[in-house]
Amino acid sequence: MAKLRTSWVCDGCGGVQVRWAGKCPDCGAWDSLKEFRHDAAAVPTCDGVSAPWQALASASPAVPLAQVEPLEAPRFATGVGELDRVLGGGCVPGSAILLGGDPGIGKSTLLLQALGHVAARGTPVLYASSEESAHQVKLRAERIDSPSNAERDQHLYLLADSNIARILEQARVIKPAILAIDSIQLVSRHDLDALPGSMSQLRRCCLDAVQFAKSTGTVVIVVGHVTKEGDLAGPKLLEHMVDVVLSFEGDRHLAWRVVRGVKNRFGSTLEIGLFEMTGSGLEQVDEGAIAPDAVARAGCVSFPTLAGTRVLLAEIQSLVVAGILGSAKRKGSGVDANRLAMMIAVLERHGGLRLGDRDIYASVAGGLRIVEPAGDLAVCLAVAGAHLDRTLGRGTAAIGEVALSGEVRPTRQLLQRASEAVRRGCSALLVPASQVADLATLSGKADIVGVANVAQAIDQLGAVPGASAKGAARSSSKRG
């Protein structure tokens, strides 16, 4: 019997240690070292340290960059436009892609749709399922719309197996353009004395899949589960091994789905793909479908956010209510909670609003997520509008970063944001006063209002149409 070597792998950073410790010496994470057993004779070593990834190393000598020939391997589209956008224009031959998401979010459906479009062009693809039988996969495939079901069914191969060796052997026979493994947590190597989903199985199976992709030029897509915190299950080493990491997000009880690029060696990670779950699979969503409501409401402010190369007109919503005992609540969905807390503090200090005893909630409609500082002004106006029961008015968008001093600072790519907002129907824009001149080309198309600080921005909040004089007086009393 082969001698087994035991090492300890950090679940957070993937660092390898020779003995267990309560704290990882590399990243400092507590209780993150998991036992990893492997055949000492079968695993390559480097200076006596176990290193299974050394098999990927090249045996060729180092050469100057000028002598490296460019790789003439164009991308090929999957046929799902929103997915291709996130991938950077399509799949790169020989790339390894990790797709993660909550159970039931639609990962398998998205994969089948992408493989179906490629197979419909006469290109063989292989879908290996370790969770479902071939009959179950076929039932889902029949429900999904495809440009040519007859052509698709001839070139889309199904395999129900959980043995990584047999999966890769079938792939060598079929020679598919894309190999999808659903999911990596249930795939195993029979020569390892460990259960599927364990640290050692995940590591070795993912390594085998990546090696296969690099050696054959096949695009390998592996599906990964996520933890209750929303992170990909397994060691971070899995994310380091692959070329692309995609996150499929959304509430499975709602229709909207978002694909984000977490890591992409061949393109930008700023792009997102928008989908809607329907009875016939995932439908691609146009940007206009998530546009804000045309009716002006207190606590709702439009904001043109950048998502890679395109602009999405998002709606930031806020609700301010009287707190009940204890400390006031500050909750955010789609907005950074720490950033929200800072904007509330700025409103109290520089906007003259009394918010210390108020529960404040903020969210972004449509399941989008705002992480850029350019949305600060919209967040401030949404909170102030909800507190004062006032609105900016119909067709008004706000753009600008808010400093802790209350100043509205310049933001990047303002003209691109403003132009898209006007195209989507906005008739007025609140922007940093220092950048009003940059929007001269929009003169006559929309009213450009420059604000230097949050106090000036709050003054732009007008009375809600139809509000009573008593309500307006009550709103005025809420300012300090």
Is 44 a residue whose pLDDT tops 70?
A: no
What tokens does 101 get? 């998401």
Neighbouring CB atoms inside 10 A of 89's CB total 15
Please, which pLDDT band fits residue 277 given cuts at 50, 70 and 90? confident
Is 350 a residue whose pLDDT tops 80?
A: yes
Residue percentage of the chain with pLDDT more than 90: 48
Answer with the residue of higher pLDDT: 380 or 224: 380
Please, which pLDDT band fits residue 418 given cuts at 50, 70 and 90? very high
What is the predicted pLDDT for the residue at 49? 37
What is the predicted pLDDT for the residue at 245? 94
> What integer is the mean pLDDT of 9-17?
73
Is 114 a residue whose pLDDT tops 90?
A: yes
Is 471 a residue whose pLDDT tops 50?
A: no
Is 291 a residue whose pLDDT tops 80?
A: no
What is the predicted pLDDT for the residue at 140? 86
Closest by CA to 351, choosing from 361, 339, 342, is 342
Long-range pairs for 351-354: beta carbons < 8 A, 24 or more residues apart: 351/380, 351/384, 351/406, 351/454, 351/455, 351/458, 351/479, 352/455, 352/458, 352/479, 352/480, 353/384, 353/387, 353/388, 353/458, 353/478, 353/479, 353/480, 354/478, 354/479, 354/480
> What integer is the mean pLDDT of 193-215?
88
What is the predicted pLDDT for the residue at 25? 84
Is 143 a residue whose pLDDT tops 70?
A: yes
> What integer is the mean pLDDT of 230-246?
77
Answer yes or no: are the C-beta atoms of 328 and 358 closer than 8 Å: yes
> Using CA atoms, how far apart are residues 231 and 478, in angstroms rounded to an integer?
41
What is the predicted pLDDT for the residue at 233? 56
**Which secondary-structure segment (H or E) carries 150?**
helix 149-155
Answer with the residue of higher pLDDT: 138 or 471: 138
What is the predicted pLDDT for the residue at 294? 65
Of these ranges, 129-138, 199-208, 342-351, 415-424, the one predicted with the greatest mean pLDDT is 342-351
Answer with the residue of higher pLDDT: 312 or 399: 399
Mean pLDDT score of the chain: 84
